[in-house]
Amino acid sequence: MGSDNPLNVPEIDLSYLKPATPEWDSARSQLWKAVEEYGCFRAVFKEIPQELPNAILSELKVLFDLPLETKMLNNEISELAYGGYIGKSPFGPLYESIGFDDPLRFEKVEKLINALLPSGRPVFCKNLHELTKLMSELEKIIVRMIMESLGVEKHLEEHLNSVFYAVRVQKYEVPETGETEVGLNIHKDQDVMTILYQNQVEGLEVETRDGKWVNAKPTLDNFTVVIGESLHAWTNGRAYSPYHRVTMKGNTVRYSIGLFTAFKEGYIVKAPEKLVDEEHPLLYKPFDHFEYLKLVQRDAKENYETTLKPYVPLTAYFGVDV
């Protein structure tokens, strides 16, 4: 399983594409195949120069080496979901992460960094803000391609108005035993999608729809895209949301940057009517995305099962809804 598996998730070049061109359509059909089968792929997106995420990664040691009390200040500063500091836990024994809850607003990035590092880090703040903007452009392309593939692109505008972006920078320590160890336990993401860039230390493993574990082994120009359960529910199950985990081995610390796209507070996740019919009955009752996030409480989760279970209509079990 996992690390010994030579397979990788598909790589798709999404650089410099224009909608309604043959190049766009060809990339879109590769993307949709990957989203259906793996819920995960590696995107090449040359609009983002490699130097940008790498400049951020090279500063992360300074941030994570701060005392725990300092990193915990983030819990007071963050106002939105996906912000705050997460320390090591049974769920992520080697994992720590620092969330930027509204990085499209430069002043919010600056506020957090200045609180953690009073001498400031203006270049880091600028880079993180800039990377968020560019990664959110990539997210919009991916969502557009998914909606076009399903013939529901009229919902694109609604999507753009309904989401917010957060960034988490994440660290995975080297296992002390020298053996392969769990960095972050098996889970599905609850968001719309997660886009990751990391420091070329592999470790992310993804389970395909047919139960095979595959390494998501990126190269320098890859952004790894993982579909979250909210998009899976919104597409009435057409987009796959994979179980995944991070496994650590070797002696290099792994750092990653994750852009999390999530629906705003109050948004009700409901599959478009066009995606529900006799052949595709409604898989999940409409749910409030923020209520769902609260319900899940990722850190407390130890079981290996979908977090959407509370929304599965009882018809799926008993033939009638009650």
User: Which residues are at the interface with Fe ion (CB under 5 A)?
Assistant: 189
Q: Which of 301, 293, 306 is nearest to 81 (CA)?
A: 293
Q: Which CB, 148 or 189, lies closer to Fe ion?
A: 189
**Which of ligand AKG, Fe ion, none does 170 bind, CB closer than 5 to 8 A by kind?**
ligand AKG
**Which of ligand AKG, Fe ion, none does 247 bind, CB closer than 5 to 8 A by kind?**
none
Indicate the angle between helix axes 106-116 and 122-150, nearest 10 degrees: 130
Q: Which CB, 162 or 198, lies closer to ligand AKG?
A: 198
Least Å from the CB of residue 58 to ligand AKG = 17
Comparing every residue's Cβ against Fe ion, the nearest one is 189
Comparing every residue's Cβ against ligand AKG, the nearest one is 256
In our burial notation (b when 16+ CB lie closer than 10 A, e otherwise), range 23-43 reads ebeebbebbbebbbbbbbbbb
Least Å from the CB of residue 194 to ligand AKG = 6
The span from the CA of 142 to the CA of 146, in Å, is: 6
**Which of Fe ion, ligand AKG, none does 248 bind, CB closer than 5 to 8 A by kind?**
none
- Token pair belonging to 309: 């279970």
Q: Which CB, 119 or 251, lies closer to ligand AKG?
A: 251
Do 175 and 250 contact (CB within 8 A), yes or no? no
Q: Which CB, 127 or 198, lies closer to ligand AKG?
A: 198
The span from the CA of 308 to the CA of 287, in Å, is: 9
Do 261 and 163 contact (CB within 8 A), yes or no? yes
Residues that bind ligand AKG in the complex, under the rule CB under 6 A = 170, 184, 189, 194, 196, 198, 204, 244, 246, 256, 258
Q: Which CB, 194 or 261, lies closer to ligand AKG?
A: 194
Alpha helices in 103-259 (DSSP H): 106-116, 122-150, 156-162, 229-234
Least Å from the CB of residue 262 to ligand AKG = 12
**Which of Fe ion, ligand AKG, none does 246 bind, CB closer than 5 to 8 A by kind?**
ligand AKG
The span from the CA of 50 to the CA of 56, in Å, is: 11
Scanning the structure block, which residue is given the tokens 């995960």? 40
